[in-house]
Amino acid sequence: MRIAVVYLRSLVTLAMSALSFAAIAGVGEGQELYDAYCQICHGGIGEGQTMGKPLTDNAANRLSDQELIAVITDGRSGTGMVAWGGSFSEEEIFDVASFVRTLQGKQGLNLAKDNAVANDDPALLAGEQLFNGTAACIMCHSYRGQGGNVGPTLDGVSSRLNDNALEQALLNPSATIVRGYAAKVVELPDGTVIRGRSRNDSELAVQIQTEDGRRWVTYFKDRVESITDSNESLMPDTFATLGASQQVQLMAFLKSL
């Protein structure tokens, strides 16, 4: 039985590897969270265990993306499924749900509006090109299943922030830092200073994600000069450096999400 599970898990991994990096950004993080917290009840490939139902059966497959996120966030009364909304950030729940979708043979989550249609608004299209191009927002943020995970996913950002709050978040990213995306500063004995997203912190070590999002690095506390929390966001002040027309374009794109 274990050989079969390992074999099936390998097939899932191979299928995920076949997707481009952009398509599965966030899914890898979701898999790490799933392996740490979910597989004990639901199984390594979502096959189900004594304490948890299968995640790949017809009932689970019929859940909409919003329903799947709601189950993870709020749990299910009368069952062993607990609410994870108080433990995981919205982005982490999104990543776990995306990984569950890959176990079901799908390509992650897509929270685009059901009635969304192709938009030919020139400002919006220019804003998306800017987001993915010279502004390089895509390196840290994701939307519609593509992008980085150093910063929060932007799916549904227009429903979470009004226009003024969104503009302020772009102009002054350090004013409000989303839970789970705070930075730490590590100073090495040779004077090298490293900043990155704080991932795990224990009595012995701290783990941070590098600013480019490509690596998670563990630093043992007795081997470094200092480790401090940063009040500054990892997000650069790119928006403030854009021209007025580019700011309008980027805002138009973000408000479409």
pLDDT digits (tens, 9 = 90+) for 23-37: 344 667 888 898 999
Tokens linked to 89: 């950030």
Tokens linked to 124: 């919006």
pLDDT given for residue 190 in this prediction: 93
Distances in whole angstroms, Cα of residue 244 to Cα of each of 32, 221, 240: 41, 45, 9
pLDDT given for residue 18 in this prediction: 38
Kindly report, residue by residue over 95-134, the tens digit of the pLDDT: 888 888 888 877 677 654 443 434 567 888 899 999 989 8
Kindly report, residue by residue over 188-228, the tens digit of the pLDDT: 999 999 888 888 888 999 988 877 777 788 999 999 999 99
CATH number for the domain running over 2-103? 1.10.760.10
Other CB atoms within a 10 A radius of the CB of residue 250 amount to 24
Confidence of residue 85 (pLDDT cuts 50, 70, 90): confident
Q: Where are the domains of the chain?
A: 2-103, 122-176+236-254, 183-230
Tokens linked to 105: 């043979």
Domain 122-176+236-254 sits in CATH 1.10.760.10: yes
pTM exceeds 0.75, yes or no: no
User: Which of the residue ranges 1-15, 113-127, 160-174, 193-207 would you say has the lowest mean pLDDT?
Assistant: 1-15
Whether 122-176+236-254 and 2-103 are alike in CATH topology: the answer is: yes
Q: Which fold has domain 183-230?
A: SH3 type barrels. (2.30.30)
Sign of CA dihedral 63, 68, 72, 77: negative
pLDDT given for residue 245 in this prediction: 92
